[in-house]
Amino acid sequence: MNNQNGYQPISVEVDMTQASSPSQRLSPTQISAFRKCGLRYWFSYLLGWREPPTPALAAGTIVHDTLEALFGLPATDRDFANAWTIMGTIGKELLLKPEYEHLGRGANRDDVRKRADAALTGYFNLEKPNEIEISHADLETDVDATLSGVFFHGRLDRRTRKPIDRVTDYKTGKKPSGAPLDDYVQQVMFYAAAINNGNDPGVEEVELLFLPDKQAVRRPVYPAAISRVTDVLMQTRSDIDNANQSSKWLAQPSRLCNYCPFKPVCPTQQKTAPIPGSSASQNMLSQTGLQRKSAPVANENGGAEFLPMELND
Ligand code: SF4
């Protein structure tokens, strides 16, 4: 059966020798990555391959950190001038880190700056942070839950309790439509499912703020929506475990292959590609400039470290 992009999914046998076990906890980004392409997920999360951060990723990190710091200020100080100053400091520090160093010069630096400026300016067109009541404990918080026996872990951007109880996810890329937008909504709905799972049935609405486009997307939280994402979580857990046991991962060729760092070694794209995970395949990936996380087995953090590849943009 074709996938939603009209391409035929292909089961690909891999060499598991150098791969770690799948994380016991699933995060929204991991689930989304796996469902987009199981083989890409395997390269990224279980083999631990990563590529240098892109301007989009750097800008996203800078803006998320800036908004977190802004909401740490008293409400009266949450203005654009202060946000701009904070962003300058955070941006400078980030681009000095060794893994971001290549983005700190020339066209790359301009690109990072342009994206971050557009997102921050867009944010102030969307809402007035000085009018938002927020507790420190509701900023960039870890959310852990066990849903129908499956461990969930994520880190949410923000939760506000007035005028209604709402979780918000900032997006620093463009607002998509159709299935990609549904995927974003699903990702933030996981947080509502996890939070409402215990003694805290509070979250009533989820929100995505597409900052450069100055657009908010809101969806109500209701039992059928919670039940849908819980089913997705359970199905994903089962699909990942089955793939891991069988050493066969489902590749989902699509137009996204053109942006996939594993295209040079992907058997769906190269007829003569060596078996993924074999020494030959690993050597080819090294030669493309990708780097491998030394201990992917330690991946219990919800996946943030493994997503420099804009799977989520
Ligand atoms: S090239 Fe396409 S099919 Fe192959 S791993 Fe990447 S996204 Fe999946």
Q: What is the pLDDT of residues 55-75, one digit of tens each?
A: 999 999 999 999 999 999 999
For 281-291, b where at least 16 C-beta lie within 10 A, e where not — what string?
bbebbeeeebe
Atom of ligand 1 nearest to the CA of 37: 8
pTM of the model: 0.88
For residue 56 and ligand 1, the question of a CB distance below 6 A is answered with no
Question: Please, what is the end-to-end C-alpha distance for the chain in angstroms?
Answer: 26
Cβ pair 99, 53 in contact under 8 A: yes
**Per the domain annotation, does 29 fall within a domain?**
yes
> Which residue minimizes the CA distance to atom 4 of ligand 1?
266
Look at the block and give the residue holding tokens 């279980």.
46
Beta-bridged to residue 147, according to DSSP, are 150
What is the domain extent for residue 23? Answer: 10-50+246-306
User: Which of the four pLDDT bands, split at 50, 70 and 90, describes residue 287?
Assistant: very high
- On whether the CB atoms of residues 220 and 57 are closer than 8 A, the answer is no
Task: For residue 99, report the distance from its CA to the centre of ligand 1, in Å.
Answer: 24
pLDDT tens for each residue of 168-209? 999 999 999 999 999 999 999 999 999 998 766 689 999 999
Instruction: For ligand 1, atom 3, name the residue with the nearest CA.
Output: 253
284 in a domain, yes or no? yes
In a domain, 187, yes or no: no
262 CB less than 6 Å from ligand 1?
Answer: yes
Tell me if 208 is assigned to some domain: no
Q: Is residue 87 part of a domain?
A: no
- How confident is residue 294, by pLDDT bands cut at 50, 70 and 90? low
Q: Is residue 116 in a domain?
A: no
The response to whether residue 41 sits with its C-beta less than 6 Å from ligand 1 reads no
Residue 158, pLDDT score:
96
Distance 223 CA to ligand 1 centre (A): 35
Rounded percentage of the chain residues whose pLDDT exceeds 90: 83
Residue of 260, 265, 311 best suited for mutating to test ligand 1, as the one with most atoms within 8 Å of CB: 260
Give the ligand 1 atom nearest the CA of 262: 6
Q: Cα of 177 to ligand 1 centre, how many Å?
A: 22
Atom number, ligand 1, closest to the C-alpha of residue 252: 3
Confidence of residue 132 (pLDDT cuts 50, 70, 90): very high
Task: Give the closest residue (by CA) to ligand 1 atom 2.
Answer: 257
Domain count, the chain: 1
Distance between CA atoms of 40 and 269, rounded to whole angstroms? 12
Average pLDDT on 102-123 reads 96
**pLDDT category, 308, cuts 50, 70, 90?**
very low
With cut-offs at 50, 70 and 90, classify the pLDDT of residue 11.
very high
How much distance in Å is there from the Cα of 43 to the middle of ligand 1? 10
CA 75 – CA 71 distance, rounded (Å): 8
Find out whether the beta carbon of 39 lies less than 6 Å from any atom of ligand 1.
Answer: yes
CA of 92 relative to ligand 1 center, distance in Å: 34
In this prediction, residue 156 carries a pLDDT of: 94
Q: Among 10, 42, 47, 256, which residue has the most ligand 1 atoms within 8 Å of its CB, making it the best to mutate?
A: 256
If you measure from the C-alpha of residue 37 to the centroid of ligand 1, how many angstroms do you get, rounded to a whole number? Answer: 6
| Nearby residues of 144 by Cβ (< 8 Å), 6 or more positions away | 25, 151, 152, 153, 194
45 lines ligand 1 (CB under 6 A): no
The answer to whether residue 228 is domain-embedded is no
The DSSP string of the chain is ---TTSPPPEEEE---TT--PPPSEE-HHHHHHHHH-HHHHIIIIIS-EE-PPPHHHHHHHHHHHHHHHHHTS-GGG-SHHHHHHHHHHHHHHHHHSGGGGGGSSHHHHHHHHHHHHHHHHHHHHH--GGG----GGGEEEEEEEEETTEEEEEEEEEEE-SSS-EEEEEE-S----HHHHHHHHHHHHHHHHHHHTTT-----EEEEEETTTTEEEEEE--HHHHHHHHHHHHHHHHHHHHHHHHTEEEE--SGGGGG-TTGGG-TTT-TTPPPTTSHHHHHHHHHTT-EE-S-GGG--STTGGG-TT-TT-
Tell me the pLDDT of the chain averaged across its residues.
90
Q: Is the CB of 281 under 6 A from ligand 1?
A: no
CA-CA-CA-CA torsion sign (305, 100, 59, 38): negative
pLDDT at 1 over 60: no
Report if residue 25 sits inside a domain: yes
Choose one of 257, 281, 288, 310 to mutate for the ligand 1 pocket test, by most ligand atoms within 8 angstroms of C-beta: 257
